[in-house]
Structure 1
């Protein structure tokens, strides 16, 4: 199992003490699992949620004509969020490497996509490369941050996970298609079929608090893609970037973007799996709880974000 940060270890210990001192009840364990699931998901999203909050605040309250361009402010704010997360040991340096990798992969895509007219940013500020403000890479880093944190927080394991070289080949094809479809035939539907074939048999096992649960990995991809689509609507409303259809007035991002985000999940999963090799699930008891030796994970177990 991957280790927790010091703060997470303390919170886990307090939760276990609370349950140990609580009277026996059928409702309390289920309610605890539900509450812990929500808290862990929120904690996994802390980088993205904080960045999204800054984007919304800048849209509502950042003064027009300020000496510091809004895009530069967003870049500095994103850097500060990342620095604070490392300084307060909310993520490890190993996890930071994964996030930086997401940042680089996303920035390369941003440079191409803005040049192709897929979306645009306000041409302001100095902290940018061409038409791409540097804070844009942090939005991809937010996805990476969530992926590595959720991997650790829920102790993700995978049954029938495909060979990593196959997943890497599919992810590479997906990434190339994000560029090549501007010049040749768009293969996204073929790639979508390939993803279903490659990952269709894979089942994700995860631990919320005391019990283990299962979910088809493809369903997990879809749910995360839907979550990102909602966040994308908030970000475009805040003016972080605009699609051509939103230039004359904001409107919701089309549902077709769900396919793009679903495919992006493949790239995200492969990048995380490159650092943290997917592990098979441990044996679980019939009621879904972990075996005796894993029922209460030690506070000093390892950490992966």
Structure 2
């Protein structure tokens, strides 16, 4: 019973951390079947996402520092969207005033919602990293993963090599988290796979509600290829590395402030 209770609590904290993604999915569903006045659907989705982001910060669910990270990932995702749509990997067929080179601006919030989830879960579960790799290794790995999303259109796709490198780099790394006063830990590589898999499920829901279309979904909706899990896994790693770096920097700053305060007392 104790294990079951802890599992339920873990699921509840995860659900609360997914507030931003849930709002996006609910908006996609409602705007899909509900007629909207004055503006096209994509523009309403942008307004909803902006209001949600404002509400998260205003209510204290997100800090200003977390907003900076989420905004950065929004821009990273938007740049990827612009390139992928240009290359024909997927498309946004509906009209919208907020479309830029075929990409609606709300699409960046779908990436930002992943960073939002990570920030929320990090705080709620009091995540701590064990045996985190050196900073320069993390930066180079994240940069290589992100660049491969662009370069594989012109060169060899090295995602599986990068996936293997992730396993090597994070082989001894763990994520420690707390549920109801009890701490648990999970291999970081496993957490990446799990998050990537659940985002793939979310991607199927999003495409069903017409968030975007893959070429094989033009005539009718079909399941997103399971191979996309690897893409999301790598993208999650980029997001995780950005959030983890912020948390570590802020943690050092906090420790520095405590040390200065202690010296002042002495």
**Common fold by TM > 0.5:** yes
Of residues 145, 160, 170, the one that matches 2:131 is: 160
The reply on whether 1:55 has 2:28 as its aligned counterpart is: yes
SS in structure 1 at match of 2:157: coil
Larger RCO (alpha carbons 8 Å, 6+ apart): 1
Deviates more, 1:54-63 or 1:66-75: 54-63
Deviation of 1:187 after TM superposition, in Å, equals 1.0
Q: How many Å separate the matches in 1 of 2:7 and 2:170?
A: 27
Deviation string, structure 1 residues 97-156 (Cα, Å, up to 9, x no partner): 111011010000000000000000024111121100010000000001011111111111
Deviation string, structure 1 residues 146-186 (Cα, Å, up to 9, x no partner): 11111111111122211121011011001000000001111
Deviation of 1:34 after TM superposition, in Å, equals 2.7
Alpha-carbon RMSD across the aligned residues, in angstroms, is 1.7
Of residues 30, 36, 45, the one that matches 1:74 is: 45
Tell me which stretches of 4 or more aligned residues in structure 1 moved more than 3 Å: 29-32
TM-score using structure 2 length: 0.90
Q: How many Å separate the matches in 2 of 1:171 and 1:279?
A: 20
Structure 1 stretches lacking a partner, 5+ long: 1-26, 281-305
Aligned positions of 1:29-48 closer than 5 A? 29-48=2-21
The equivalent residue for 2:194 is 223
Q: How many Å separate the matches in 1 of 2:148 and 2:9?
A: 38
**What is the count of residue pairs matched by the alignment?**
251
Q: How many Å separate the matches in 1 of 2:109 and 2:65?
A: 17
Q: How many Å separate the matches in 2 of 1:279 and 1:54?
A: 33
Pair member with larger Rg:
1
The reply on whether 1:237 has 2:212 as its aligned counterpart is: no
Deviation string, structure 1 residues 207-230 (Cα, Å, up to 9, x no partner): 011111111111110110011001
SS in structure 1 at match of 2:9: helix
CA contact (8 A) 1:158 1:278 kept: no
Deviates more, 1:268-277 or 1:111-120: 268-277
Structure 2 stretches lacking a partner, 5+ long: 252-266
The reply on whether 1:125 has 2:96 as its aligned counterpart is: yes
Q: How many Å separate the matches in 1 of 2:30 and 2:5?
A: 33
Q: How many Å separate the matches in 2 of 1:239 and 1:204?
A: 35
